[in-house]
């Protein structure tokens, strides 16, 4: 009898887990950064509603041999932004908080990955 009760409880828990909604597949908001244009003047670029868990190499600064890195990131998304000094989310990293995270000109980056906050 105890086995049936345990089996029923386990089945019910599994059904509940399977039917829970999953988190969104993209961050909502804008991630902004500054890079040097071909003429050497600062240019501002942005990524809107980026996918979660996907590494994004910034196209303007992805090649370390031909460009200086981007800097001054602003995270206005609802997820954490993990910025990396190298392309393909390689090298040193720093995490920017959702909505209010920002870095100065000293925080350089070539790629970024977004991760949702843990549920509270």
Domain ranges of the chain: 29-115
CA–CA separation, 101 and 109 (whole Å): 14
In tens, the pLDDT along 17-40 reads 444 444 457 999 999 999 999 899
The CATH code belonging to domain 29-115 is 2.60.20.10
Tell me, yes or no, if the pTM score tops 0.85.
no
In tens, the pLDDT along 70-106 reads 999 999 999 999 999 999 999 999 999 999 999 999 9
- Quickly tell me which residue has 């909502």 as its tokens: 28
Ranges of H-type helices in 22-105:
none
The partner residues of 31 in beta bridges, in order of sequence, read 47, 75
Question: What b/e sequence results for 2-38 when a residue is b if at least 16 CB atoms lie within 10 Å of its CB, and e otherwise?
Answer: eeeeeeeeeeeeeeeeeeeeeeeebbebebbbebbee
pLDDT at 23: 46
């Amino acid at each position: 009898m105890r086995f049936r009760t345990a089996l029923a409880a386990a089945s019910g828990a599994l059904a509940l887990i399977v039917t829970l909604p999953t988190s969104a597949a993209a961050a909502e908001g804008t991630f902004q950064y500054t890079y040097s244009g071909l003429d050497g003047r600062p240019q501002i670029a942005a990524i809107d509603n980026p996918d979660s868990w996907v590494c994004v190499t910034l196209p303007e600064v992805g090649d370390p041999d031909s460009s200086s890195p981007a800097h001054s990131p602003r995270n206005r998304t609802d997820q954490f932004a993990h910025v990396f000094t190298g392309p393909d989310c390689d090298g040193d990293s720093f995490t920017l908080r959702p909505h209010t995270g920002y870095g100065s000109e000293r925080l350089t980056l070539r790629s970024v990955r977004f991760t949702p906050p843990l549920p509270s």
